Amino acid sequence: MLATARKFANTAATMLDERTEAANFVVHFQKKDREVDESLEKITFATPTEQQPLTTPKDNMKKAAELLKKKDEEIDINYVRKLVASAMQQQSKADTSRRLESNPDHCISTAQKDA
């Protein structure tokens, strides 16, 4: 009978430990969930139209400069990178067009050159 009482006591102690461990897990999970919610509240999601590069390299660089004047937390670095990359690409195309326009020999297709 004493052995049975010990088994009951051990089982009850084990169940109590498991319940305490589960309660601690739930409390920890709820704390992390609140932290995530607080972090998400701080994030502002910009609409896709605001994230598009502008039409000219000058406009893109001007917008990038405006964005970089803001506080560090407010800067969307990926958008700034997109603006600068777009400006560089647009300027490269403009330079190529100007170079081709200035020398008509560059505008002739290879088929016409061979003929």
Please give the chain's pLDDT, 115 residues, in tens.
Answer: 788 888 888 999 999 999 999 999 999 989 988 888 887 777 665 545 467 788 888 888 888 888 888 877 777 888 888 889 999 998 888 888 777 777 767 666 655 655 5
Q: If DSSP codes are grouped into helix, strand and coil, which group holds residue 69?
A: coil
Statement: the pTM of the whole predicted model exceeds 0.85: no
Q: If DSSP codes are grouped into helix, strand and coil, which group holds residue 75?
A: coil
Domain range list for the chain: 1-43, 45-115
Q: Return d(Cα 24, Cα 38) in angstroms, integer.
A: 21
Angle, helices 77-102/57-68, rounded to nearest 10 degrees: 160
